[in-house]
Amino acid sequence: MAAKSPRIFPVGDSALTVEFGNVISEELNQKAIAFAAHLESNKFPGYIEPVPAYASATLFYDPVVVRHNFPDFPTAFDAIQHLAQATLENLAANTATPSRLVEIPVQFDAEASLDLEFVAATNNLSPDEVIEIFLAKTYRVYMLGFLPGFSYMGEVDERIATPRRESPRTVVPKGSVGIAGSQTGIYSLESPGGWQIIGRTDVEMFSPNASEPCYLRPGDEVRFVAAK
């Protein structure tokens, strides 16, 4: 069956989204990341930034600057849509982008693993078995969102997949490693949240004054290890 063409649609008057699909898929995520990376390397007048997600990428632009620099198009959106379609054609043959393997140490003591006992009981496992299963996989960073530097990763082994908490916490400590369904992620900042917390890392996920503020990038591969 032939792959569906990406869907392009406006998001307000200063952004455009290219949707490659609506499922969690490494293939679709790779297309979204490659689309964003190509635009980052081929900026146009009015360009602000592209933001890749699980299976889509949103391109933000300045409509006034775009309208001034692309007068042959009736609207700024029409101009950006044309650029997006051209980008998709350039990516048709190859969507491969480099990825990094990142190792992140995690503490699993009682203070750090707020929901480990619950995750274990829900899945008829011991806490040690949950940790062992969790550490056995390599996780893909599909996207960043919710908080600056918060990483949405997947997919966890189905044996430890656990729904979000019925009642979210008002405060989740920075560095908390959580599970929500088949996803895992790291809270980059202290915030409210409803993921099941099974550990915590001391690695700074978000450093606003750094040249690259977010520690992880979409497309990275992450290995969690038990902190010594």
Q: Which tens digits make up the pLDDT trace of 36-73?
A: 999 999 999 999 999 999 999 999 999 999 999 999 99
- Tell me the whole-structure pTM to 2 decimals: 0.87
Residue with tokens 């560095």: 175
Name the band, by pLDDT with cuts 50, 70 and 90, for residue 1. Answer: very low
Residue type, 196: Q
Regarding predicted confidence, which is higher, 2 or 27?
Answer: 27
pLDDT above 60: residue 3: no
At 73-116, the pLDDT tens digits run: 999 999 999 999 999 988 765 566 678 999 999 999 999 999 99
Question: What are the DSSP E strand ranges found in the chain?
Answer: 7-10, 15-19, 47-52, 56-61, 101-106, 138-144, 151-154, 169-172, 176-180, 183-186, 191-193, 196-200, 221-226
Is residue 77 within 8 A of residue 64, CB to CB? The reply is no
Distance CA 90, CA 103 (A): 33
Q: Domains in the chain, please, with CATH?
A: 7-91 (3.30.1360.40), 101-226 (2.40.100.10)
Q: Using alpha carbons, list the distances in angstroms from residue 61 to 14, 67, 128, 140, 195.
A: 5, 11, 48, 28, 33
